[in-house]
């Protein structure tokens, strides 16, 4: 079990906790809640899957024309939350968001099952849908259009990368006396995987 004492670099601690979640969660250990902000300042929240975590940041993929896509393109800041019930742990991550480059998005899109790639074309994510049949018709349309050869990535489908400027690691403690450590980049450090971070223990 990884320790929680505020001394481990947050990127490394994230990797350790994720590795442990992969061992113990029944499904989707990479599921995370993504919070965005709408034009009126109203937050909105939904689950997405973490598809890349490295020294550059935390990547997920979606439809840029969805509600989250529009909110992030207009206001490129996000908060992420992992909660692993099997481990009784949560990690919070906050930071600005940038778009994933085309080559990287293409590589990930090409790795997805063919039906999921067709689905990315068929789904007008977050817009009104009259009935299930309309969705199925669109799936059939794009399945026919891309019956042979490579299914290209739709121009509106890509990834976002969250560049952490804050982490918080939370671990369950007896009688609600939990452990919490908030990490921020050290003064003069830009943060990131190579940067220096300082931690602060917080009251539970
Ligand atoms: C466990 C889980 C994982 C999900 N992963 C994704 C994902 O990676 N990308 C995505 O666009 N939607 C994903 N969804 C669906 C979103 O939660 C959401 O319904 C959809 O993206 C539309 O959100 P929006 O209207 O806020 O843009 C996932 C849902 C669940 C429950």
pLDDT digits (tens, 9 = 90+) for 113-171: 999 999 999 999 999 999 999 999 999 999 999 999 999 999 999 999 999 999 999 99
Is a pLDDT exceeding 80 seen at residue 2?
no
| Domains along the sequence of the chain with CATH | 10-111+156-201 (2.30.110.10)
What is the residue with the minimal CA distance to atom 17 of ligand 1? 47
- Asked whether 48 lines ligand 1 (CB < 6 A), one says yes
Q: For residue 1, is pLDDT > 80?
A: no
* Closest C-alpha to ligand 1, atom 7: 48
DSSP the chain: ----SS-S-HHHHHHHHHHHHHHH-SS-TTEEEEEEE-TTS-EEEEEEE--EEETTEEEEEEETTSHHHHHHHHS-EEEEEEEETTTTEEEEEEEEEEEPPHHHHHHHHHHS-HHHHHHHHH--TTS--S-HHHHHHHHHHHHHHTSSS--PPPTTEEEEEE--SEEEEEE--GGG--EEEEEEEPTT---TTTS-EEEEE---
How large is the average pLDDT for residues 181-191?
A: 92
Q: How confident is the model at residue 42 (pLDDT cuts 50, 70, 90)?
A: very high
pLDDT of residue 190: 83
Ligand 1 atom at minimum distance from 63 CA: 11
Task: Name the residue with higher pLDDT: 194 or 102.
Answer: 102
Q: Is the CB of 68 under 6 A from ligand 1?
A: yes
**Whether pLDDT at 192 is above 90:** no
Catalytic residue chosen out of the listed positions 161, 171, 176, 196: 176
- Segment 11-15 mean pLDDT: 97
Query: Quick check: is 176 catalytic?
Result: yes
pLDDT at 70 over 70: yes
Ligand 1 centre distance from Cα of residue 31 (Å): 9
- Res 64 pLDDT > 90: yes
Give the residue whose CA is nearest to atom 18 of ligand 1.
46
pLDDT digits (tens, 9 = 90+) for 86-129: 999 999 999 999 999 999 999 999 999 999 999 999 999 999 99
Whether 49 is in the pocket of ligand 1, judged by its Cβ within 6 Å, is yes
């Amino acid at each position: 079990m990884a320790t929680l004492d505020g001394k481990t670099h947050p990127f490394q601690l994230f990797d350790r906790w994720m590795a442990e979640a992969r061992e113990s969660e029944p499904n989707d250990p990479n599921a995370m809640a993504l919070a965005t902000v709408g034009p009126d300042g109203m937050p909105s929240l939904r689950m997405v899957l973490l598809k890349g975590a490295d020294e550059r940041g935390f990547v997920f993929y979606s439809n840029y024309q969805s509600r989250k896509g529009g909110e992030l393109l207009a206001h490129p800041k996000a908060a992420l939350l992992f909660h692993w019930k099997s481990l009784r742990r949560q990690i919070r991550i906050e930071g600005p968001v940038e778009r994933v480059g085309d080559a990287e998005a293409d590589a990930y899109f090409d790795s997805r099952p063919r039906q999921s790639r067709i689905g990315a074309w068929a789904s007008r994510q977050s817009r009104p849908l009259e009935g299930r049949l309309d969705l199925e018709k669109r799936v059939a349309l794009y399945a026919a259009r891309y019956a042979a050869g490579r299914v290209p990535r739709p121009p509106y489908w890509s990834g976002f990368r969250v560049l952490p400027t804050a982490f918080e690691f939370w671990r369950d403690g007896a009688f609600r006396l939990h452990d919490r450590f908030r990490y921020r980049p050290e003064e003069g450090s830009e943060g990131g995987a190579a940067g220096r971070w300082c931690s602060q223990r917080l009251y539970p």
